[in-house]
Amino acid sequence: MSHHHDDEFRLHTPDFQELNKRLDRRHFLTKTSLGLGALAVGSLFGTRHLFGASPGIKEESSANLEEEILKALPHIAPKAKRVVYLFMAGGPSQFETFDYKPKLYEMAGQNLPDSVRKGQRLTGMSANQSALPVVPSIYKFNQHGKNQTWISELLPYTAQVVDELCLVKSIHSEAINHDPAITFFQTGNQLPGRPSIGSWVSYGLGSDNQNLPTFIVLVSKNAPRDQPLYARLWGNGFLPSKHQGVQFRSGKDPVLFLNNPEGYEGNDRKEMLDYLTKLNQLQNEAYGDPEVDARIAQYEMAYRMQTSVPEVMDLSGESDEVFNLYGPDSRDSGTYAANCILARKLLEKDVKFVQLYHQGWDQHGGLPKNIANQCKQVDQATAALIIDLKRRGMLDDTLVIWGGEFGRTVYSQGKLTADNYGRDHHPRCFTMWMAGAGVKAGVSYGETDDFSYNIIKDPVHVHDFHATLMHLLGVDHERLTYKFQGRRFRLTDVHGKLVKGILA
- Please report which confidence band the pLDDT of residue 1 belongs to, taking 50, 70 and 90 as the band edges: very low
* CB-based contacts of 83, cutoff 8 Å, min separation 6: 198, 201, 352, 353, 354, 398, 399, 400, 401, 469, 473
Domain count, the chain: 1
Its pTM stands at 0.83
Tell me if 31 is assigned to some domain. Answer: no
Q: Please name every residue paired with 152 in a beta bridge, in sequence order, or none if there are none.
A: 141
Q: Where are the alpha helices (DSSP H) in 113-239?
A: 114-117, 156-160, 178-187, 197-205
Domain that holds residue 468: 82-502
Identify the helix (H) or strand (E) that includes residue 439.
Answer: none
Tell me if 52 is assigned to some domain. Answer: no
Whether 254 and 302 have beta carbons less than 8 Å apart is answered as no
Tell me if 155 is assigned to some domain. Answer: yes
Q: Where are the alpha helices (DSSP H) in 398-438?
A: none
| Cα–Cα distances in angstroms (integers) from residue 502 to residues 7, 442, 456, in the given order | 77, 11, 17
Between β-strands 398-403 and 430-436, what pairing exists: parallel, antiparallel or unpaired? antiparallel
Tens-place pLDDT, residues 308-338: 888 889 999 999 999 999 999 999 999 999 9
Tell me if 27 is assigned to some domain. Answer: no
Tell me if 45 is assigned to some domain. Answer: no
Tell me if 185 is assigned to some domain. Answer: yes
CA 501 to chain centre: 24
Three-state secondary-structure class, residue 4: helix
What CATH code is carried by the domain that includes residue 228?
3.40.720
**% of the chain exceeding 70 in pLDDT:** 83
Residue 229's nearest CA partner among 125, 357, 131 is 357
Residue 264: Cβ-neighbour burial (10 angstroms; 0-12, 13-18, 19+)? exposed
Tens-place pLDDT, residues 19-49: 444 445 444 444 443 333 333 333 333 333 3
Counting every residue written for the chain, the total comes to: 504
Cα–Cα distance between 197 and 491 in angstroms, integer?
7
- Please report which confidence band the pLDDT of residue 268 belongs to, taking 50, 70 and 90 as the band edges: confident
pLDDT > 70? residue 388:
yes
Tell me if 350 is assigned to some domain. Answer: yes
Cα–Cα distance between 304 and 419 in angstroms, integer?
54
Tell me if 233 is assigned to some domain. Answer: yes
